[in-house]
Amino acid sequence: MKYYSVLSIICLGIYSLLFSLMVNGVSFGFFGKLTIISMCLFPLVGIFYALKSRKRFSKWILIILNTLAFFTIIYLLVLGFGIGEK
């Protein structure tokens, strides 16, 4: 399959949609934990697809964006659970 970069962009878009819904205060109810877990997994899957894409400039941009998205959600989870502050 030669559309790995498109799949990586889709994963980044789904993450962005879920993140914007979370920031705006949309209640996911019972699916809240599932949403948080999927917000951690979509950037990782996006990194995987970006690594499998062709060696172009967009490959590295997608790797950087997905890595930034992953570390952003991990940082927010650490702050949310109180590990970052005393």
* Per-residue model confidence as pLDDT tens digits over 33-81: 898 899 999 999 999 999 998 878 888 999 999 999 999 999 988 888 7
For residues 37 and 31, what is the distance between their CA atoms, to the nearest angstrom? Answer: 10
Q: How confident is the model at residue 22 (pLDDT cuts 50, 70, 90)?
A: confident
Q: What is the dihedral of CA 52, 57, 58, 61, to 10 degrees?
A: 100
- Structural domain that includes position 40: 4-80
Domain count, the chain: 1
* Position 86 in a domain: no
Could you tell me the pLDDT band of residue 86, with boundaries at 50, 70 and 90?
low
Write down the pLDDT at residue 56. 83
Distance CA 46, CA 32 (A): 21
Residue 85 within a domain: no
Range name among 13-17, 27-31, 42-46 with the lowest pLDDT average: 27-31
Amino acid present at 34: L
Neighbours of 52 (CB within 10 A): 14
